Amino acid sequence: MAVKYTKVNEMKLVAFSTKVLEKTGMPHDDAFIASRLMVNTDLRGIASHGVAHLNGLYVKRLKTGFVKAKPDIKMYSGAPATATIDGDRGLGFVVGHKAMQEAISRAKTYGMGAVTCRNTTHYGACSAYSLLALPEDMIGFSCTTGGLNAVVPGASGRTAGMNAMSFAAPSNKEFPFCLDMSSTMAAWGKVEIALRTGDMLPLGWTIDPDGNPITDPKEDEIKKGAMVMLGGTKELGVYKGFGLNLMIDILSSTLAASVCLPELFQSPSTASTCTHFCMAMKISGFTPPEEFKKGMDRLIETYHNLPKAKGVKNITIPGELEWALVLDRKKNGIPLDEVVIQSLKELSTEFKVDFDII
């Protein structure tokens, strides 16, 4: 299906989203933080986790009260470098941002810091948080549990969270390294894009409760389907994908609330909430940051210059394509598809916020 894109302005999009979220009752600073992180994600080309969710996911949940516009976020800390946050079902962006700032603040003093978060909601892409550490000359890590859309190896149907993680490290002259990955072969957001565009899904991503592959993104088919963990089959390493999925569940859910994601989804009052974990490591606690960042430049250069396979022109490092998009989109605008544009226009009408984003 041919999809029409409209290019919108980064700063205007942040301002628009901020005004919309304020109209739902969120304080200005929180609305701005959420919008800034959401648009950062669109800048990086992760169309599945940016403003595409503003109307259908975030505003919808703020309107029903499932997500609280003014959460009473509480923190418990049992050690100098670590803490647990209870997000009081606030918007995940606000809770995750607070957690990462807290981890960074503790890392400034102790060399590293980590904060786990319970009772929170969808926080977008993990890279929005890991990348916050880089300007502080720190390495950033963040992970989150997600909706119950993945299948545990050996189980039938949707039995595990769409858990994801990001690891980011600063460079000197080169782009920032940023791995941003789901523990499944593909993120659920990629399926949501296919639902909008009608494109077929690659074989292997999704199976039905009987284990048969689903490749047609017709909603009825997909509703029965579950996302397969990274690795795909036992022989090719699906237990590694599952293990990463559980590592994320343990760091985010068990460490924060002594529950796991499938348990959260067994109770109507906690289904669709999620959990996060944020960590920062101060590079100067290990080595001089300038040396490290020069080392990152050389790492990128070394991998770029490896002997290529036949027909391959470039070797791509995680974060490289995304950074090229950031530079382009800051200058030339962020392309949003028609469905997303329409969903933003609805918000403009509903909340009487000027549709001034082009």
Question: Which 77-116 residues touch a copy of itself, going by CB under 8 A?
Answer: 77-84, 109-114, 116
Report in angstroms how near the CB of residue 318 gets to a copy of itself at its nearest: 4
Which of 4, 70, 74, 308 binds a copy of itself (CB under 8 A)? It is 308
The answer to whether 42 contacts a copy of itself (rule: CB under 8 A) is no
Using CB under 8 A as the binding rule, whether residue 211 contacts a copy of itself is answered as yes
Query: Does 299 interact with a copy of itself (rule: CB under 8 A)?
Result: yes
Binding of a copy of itself by 306 (CB under 8 A): yes
296 lines the binding site for a copy of itself (CB under 8 A): yes
**Number of amino acids touching a copy of itself (CB under 8 A):** 89
Give the max Cα distance, the chain.
57
| Closest to 27 (Cα-Cα) out of 58, 74, 70, 68 | 70
Nearer to a copy of itself, 114 or 353 (CB): 114
Q: Is 135 in the site for a copy of itself (CB under 8 A)?
A: no
* Distance between CA atoms of residues 328 and 13, nearest Å: 16
Does residue 44 bind a copy of itself (CB under 8 A)? no
Angle between helices 338-351 and 10-23 (to 10 degrees): 50
Indicate the pairing of strand 150-151 with strand 226-228: parallel
Q: Name the residue nearer to a copy of itself (CB basis): 112 or 214.
A: 112
Residues 6+ apart with CB under 8 A from 105: 113
Residues 249-278 that bind a copy of itself (CB under 8 A): 249-251, 254-260, 262-263
Of residues 169-198, those binding a copy of itself (CB under 8 A)? 169, 177, 179, 181, 185-186
133 lines the binding site for a copy of itself (CB under 8 A): no
Q: Is 216 in the site for a copy of itself (CB under 8 A)?
A: no
Q: Identify any residues that bridge with 85 across adjacent strands, giving them in sequence order.
A: 75, 117
Cα–Cα nearest to 128, from 142, 112, 147, 108: 142
Least Cβ distance, residue 98 to a copy of itself (angstroms): 16
- Beta pairing partners, 5: 337
Nearer to a copy of itself, 90 or 140 (CB): 140
Token digits for 168?
Answer: 């980011």
The Cα 67–Cα 50 span in angstroms is 17
Residues 175-206 as b/e (b if ≥16 CB within 10 A, e otherwise) read bbbbbbbbbbbbbbbbbbbbebeeeebeeebb
Rg (CA), the chain: 20
Contact indicator for 129, 295 with CB cutoff of 8 Å: no
Binding flag, residue 316, a copy of itself (CB under 8 A): yes
Of 265, 125, 271, the C-alpha closest to 189 is 125
The nearer residue to a copy of itself, 160 or 340, going by C-beta atoms, is 160
Does position 325 bind a copy of itself by CB under 8 A? no
DSSP 68: B
Q: Is residue 295 close enough to count as binding a copy of itself by CB under 8 A?
A: yes
Return the number of the residue (59 or 281) whose C-beta is nearest a copy of itself: 281
CB of 58 to a copy of itself, least distance (A): 27
According to CB under 8 A, which one of 153, 224, 272, 348 is a site residue for a copy of itself?
153
For residue 346, state whether it binds a copy of itself (rule: CB under 8 A): no
| Beta carbon nearer to a copy of itself, 156 or 342 | 156
